[in-house]
Amino acid sequence: MSWESSALYYRLVNEGVRDRLGGLHSAVCVMGSVDFAEIERLQVSGEWTQAGELLADEARGLVAAGAECVVLCTNTMHKVAPTIENAVDVPLIHLVDVTAAAVKEAGLRRVALLGTRFTMEESFYRDRMAAYGVDTMVPDADERTVVNDVIYDELVVGVVDDAARAAYRRIIDRLAHAGAEGVILGCTEIELLIAQDDSPVPVFASTALHAEAAVDFALSSA
């Protein structure tokens, strides 16, 4: 939910429309940008109902402004996706569905998941992946702390550090040796740090996949 990854989404969606339509085309879109500090406070305090209601209000505003679908630009907050879906009468393009479809298309059945502590330790993400027949591994406890702290202490404030990249690479390598056939970058900010060259197994970049799915929907509707 940080503006760092929101900016990445905005760029990817506009590039996707430009690349497909050519010329001076760009995306017709409406963005609701929230105060991430407020979201983070609700996450830490476990006030997920209030967080869901806040985002549902944002979604209603987007639809009122003309949005024909909603894209929730965060992995962690898909924990409250049902609240948002129930608040609007347009489709929510679910990030986990999009990511699972890409894993299935690649023919993989077991992948590692990197994300916030909430995404890695709670079941909402892994259960939805399992519904697609995909088994999801997560780092061990110490590694989860590293992954989470890099996100909240560095990436969401625009710090992209080589030491953090090296730490992520070590974690990905260990998970690959433990049987992961691919790795999901299950936090939208991680794509600011990690790319395919950083992994010995296929990388599934949730932000890029999600943005592409939004472009697919928009252009098919058009």
Give the up-direction half-sphere exposure of residue 11: CA atoms within 13 A in the CB hemisphere: 9
Among 73, 74, 119, 207, the active-site one is 74
Beta strands in the chain (DSSP E): 110-114, 135-137, 182-185, 203-205
Rounded (10°) angle between helices 206-221 and 95-105:
100
**Distance, CA of 188 to CA of 208 (rounded, Å):** 9
48-102 pLDDT, tens digit each: 999 999 999 999 999 999 999 999 999 999 999 999 999 999 999 999 999 999 9
- The reply to whether 129 and 170 lie within a common domain is yes
- The reply to whether 216 and 131 lie within a common domain is no
Among 73, 136, 187, 207, the active-site one is 187
Q: Identify the pLDDT of residue 1.
A: 83
- The reply to whether 130 and 149 lie within a common domain is yes
Q: With beta carbons less than 8 A apart as the criterion, state whether 108 and 182 touch.
A: yes
pLDDT classification of 222: cutoffs 50, 70, 90: low
- The reply to whether 104 and 34 lie within a common domain is no
Q: Identify the pLDDT of residue 221.
A: 72
Beta strands in 32-161 (DSSP E): 110-114, 135-137
Percentages of the chain per state (helix, strand, coil), in multiples of 5: 60, 10, 30
pLDDT of residue 128 exceeding 70, the answer is yes
pLDDT classification of 111: cutoffs 50, 70, 90: very high
Residue 64's domain is classified under what CATH number?
Answer: 3.40.50.1860
- The reply to whether 105 and 17 lie within a common domain is no
145-185 pLDDT, tens digit each: 999 999 999 999 999 999 999 999 999 999 999 999 999 99
pTM for the full predicted model: 0.94
- The reply to whether 122 and 68 lie within a common domain is no
- The reply to whether 147 and 84 lie within a common domain is no
**Distance, CA of 153 to CA of 52 (rounded, Å):** 24
- The reply to whether 65 and 118 lie within a common domain is no
Give yes or no: 188 in active site: no
In sequence order, the β-bridge partners of residue 92 are 70
Give yes or no: 29 in active site: no
| List of residues 6+ apart from 94 with CB closer than 8 A | 78, 81, 128
Helix, strand, or coil here: 129?
A: helix
- The reply to whether 180 and 119 lie within a common domain is yes
**Of 122, 91, 113, 116, which Cα lies nearest the Cα of 36?**
116
**Residue ranges making up the domain that contains 44:** 3-94+209-221
Which two structure tokens, joined as six digits, stand for 96?
A: 């986990």
- The reply to whether 134 and 192 lie within a common domain is yes
- The reply to whether 22 and 33 lie within a common domain is yes
